[in-house]
């Protein structure tokens, strides 16, 4: 087997999902600093992997992320893992303050004590809604951070978004093209701006139009490039 350091993250995840414990343990060990950082962002303090229970929760969540991740989303595993870790740690902190032992939202009801199937489904639906709302808030928070790196903001996007459907479709289509073109996407991620000159050669849009919509295109590129499940839902069927 080749050196694990020479294998891409995506391949390592796939191998681990196929039951390779050596690769799974390698990922868990290698990304402990990443896990500690995610946990620390929630706890707002330094996390000691040797002594803090929150780190154990984060480690377990990272392991769950490995199992749940799907490369079909075409986005970053680490972004996905970051969300899973934070959700689990927040669950732990929230309920550890109320109960003597850590308890998660999906453990706050006992199906055996609920004879009415409708009641069971209602509780499950409430839990799912709470989780979805949490994910949306986290996605928006992460999106705002990404936007700031490009010197953009949500308020600004609301003002500069194209008013006409055709213009929005064109912008989304261009953002997809950039994401799928390795050279263009690497330029955007490195320079935090559009390669207007090179892009104009690949799309049937004038440089003037590209420049006018550049901020909106950049924002859509960010959404498409990350693991923003809910934000990407808004783009399904748009610009295709």
In a shared domain, residues 9 and 85: yes
**Domain endpoint, select from 83, 108, 133:** 108
What is the per-residue pLDDT for 104?
Answer: 38
- Token pair in block for residue 109: 């009801």
Task: Among 41, 73, 108, identify where a domain stops.
Answer: 108
pTM metric for this prediction: 0.53
Shared-domain flag, residues 33 and 65:
yes
CA distances from 221 to 46, 72, 186 (A): 33, 17, 12
115 and 227 part of one domain = yes
Say if residue 101 is in the same domain as residue 116: no
Question: Are both 91 and 115 inside the same structural domain?
Answer: no
Does residue 119 share a domain with residue 64? Answer: no
Q: For residue 64, what is the enclosing H or E element? A: helix 53-68
pLDDT tens digits along 166-212: 888 899 999 999 999 999 999 999 999 999 998 988 988 889 999 99
Number of domains, the chain: 2
Q: Are residues 80 and 132 in the same domain?
A: no
Determine the Cα–Cα distance for residues 97 and 123; give it in Å rounded to an integer.
22
Determine the Cα–Cα distance for residues 12 and 23; give it in Å rounded to an integer.
7
- The string of pLDDT tens digits covering residues 25-83 is 999 999 999 999 889 888 888 888 888 889 999 999 999 889 888 766 555 788 888 88
Contact 54, 47 (CB under 8 A): yes
Rg, Å, the chain Cα set: 21
Provide the domain limits for residue 154: 111-240
Residue 109 confidence class, pLDDT cut points 50, 70, 90: very low
Average of per-residue pLDDT across 96-120: 43
The pLDDT of residue 98? 36
Residues near 151 by beta carbon (within 8 Å), at least 6 away in sequence? 192
Angle at alpha carbon of residue 59, lines to 58 and 64, rounded to 5°:
95
205 within 8 A of 170, measured Cβ to Cβ:
yes
Return the biggest CA–CA distance within the chain. Answer: 66
**Alpha carbon distances (Å) from 70 to 35, 74, 85:** 19, 8, 16
């Amino acid at each position: 087997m080749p050196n694990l350091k020479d294998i891409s993250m995506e391949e390592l995840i796939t191998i681990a999902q196929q039951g390779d414990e050596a690769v799974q343990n390698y990922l868990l060990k290698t990304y402990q600093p990443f896990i500690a950082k995610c946990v620390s962002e929630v706890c707002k303090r330094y996390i000691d992997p040797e002594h803090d229970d929150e780190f154990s929760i984060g480690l377990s969540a990272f392991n769950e992320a490995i199992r749940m991740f799907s490369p079909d989303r075409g986005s970053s595993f680490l972004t996905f893992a970051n969300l899973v870790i934070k959700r689990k740690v927040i669950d732990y902190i929230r309920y550890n303050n109320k109960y003597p032992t850590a308890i998660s939202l999906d453990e706050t009801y006992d199906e055996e004590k609920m004879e009415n199937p409708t009641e069971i489904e209602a509780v499950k639906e409430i839990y799912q809604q709470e989780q979805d709302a949490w994910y949306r808030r986290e996605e928006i928070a992460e999106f705002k951070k990404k936007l700031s790196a490009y010197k953009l903001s949500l308020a600004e996007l609301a003002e500069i978004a194209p008013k006409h459907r055709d213009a929005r479709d064109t912008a989304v289509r261009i953002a997809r093209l950039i994401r799928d073109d390795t050279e263009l996407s690497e330029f955007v991620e490195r320079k935090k701006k559009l390669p207007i000159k090179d892009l104009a050669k690949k799309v049937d849009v004038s440089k003037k139009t590209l420049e006018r919509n550049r901020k909106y295109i950049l924002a859509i590129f960010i959404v498409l490039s990350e693991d923003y499940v809910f934000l990407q839902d808004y783009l399904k069927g748009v610009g295709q």
